[in-house]
Structure 1
């Protein structure tokens, strides 16, 4: 579906005035890095997210799709030099134990108003988090983690979670950009 120049202008204007819709995020829970605004450096990945959501909506039997549900990808430019030193950034490069533990803690239990960083980490939740995406069906992996009685504090259990979220649906191990890259803003 094509949009008109007027619709494109309205979309861009809306993003400039309110990039993050916290009311929408209020319903969002248990994401890789917590509830936030997720972006990626990979255009193909960026296109997959909203289209996949629309496909799932259609497959679930939606009889109508409104114009505000049509997927869009926005290119956002960040100017770090315009921000002071008061922005906290957590940058995971690679699938380290710390990355797995951070994802596990947020997939286990987090929402817009609460996450385990508040009680488990030595500082509040970072304002920006960068790193790999958890792959596979993380919902099923976290469900098995909980049902098996695994602990958030046991290294062996954290490593089990890490092995299972870095595999494709057909069981192949994925590393680095094969998993996908994400930058989340909080």
Structure 2
């Protein structure tokens, strides 16, 4: 498989990524999140006093269980709802669009029954493209090769 470059925005260089277990607030569950969009990683880093974007080469292992959402679909929406509700999936890597804060507010409204699924899709238009790739298992993390980092100013 081809090599791609991915970025992780944070407050410190991450030479040895780990699976992060959170509070069920991540779109694709627990893991180590990156993106192919450098500007998006820079936005992630800008949440911190020290703004660091770690850079990795990735060669995906075809033996891993990889789920890719090429578009925002009902399946994508249901997957995010399941993950954010604490449901565990069996994928090593999950790739797709990100439900940013605005989109997640719409997801919450849909989950609460305040809006219908059709109303969700009408409102769920991104202002700019988003992308995330979640490395969910130790085997998936082995696909990452740390290249270095950049500080964001």
| 5+ long unaligned stretches in structure 1 | 1-10, 55-68, 119-123, 151-156, 169-173
Correspondence for 1:75: 55
Partner of 1:26: 21
Name 2:81's counterpart in structure 1.
104
Distance 2:73 2:27 in 1: 14
Q: 1:128·1:185 contact (CA, 8 Å) conserved in 2?
A: yes
Distance (whole Å) between structure 1 residues aligned to residue 38 and residue 24 of structure 2: 24
What's the TM-score, normalizing by structure 2? 0.66
1:182 and 2:132 matched: yes
**Aligned positions of 1:77-156 closer than 5 A:** 77-80=57-60, 83=61, 85=63, 87-107=64-84, 109-110=85-86, 115=87, 118=88, 124-148=89-113
Which structure 2 segments of 5+ residues have no match?
Answer: 1-11, 137-153
Spell out structure 1 runs of 4+ moving beyond 6 A.
none
TM-score (norm 1): 0.56
Task: Say which structure, 1 or 2, has more relative contact order (CA 8 Å, 6+ apart).
Answer: 2
Structure number with the higher helix fraction is 1
Task: Tell me which protein shows more strand as a share of its residues.
Answer: 2
Q: Report the number of matched residues.
A: 125
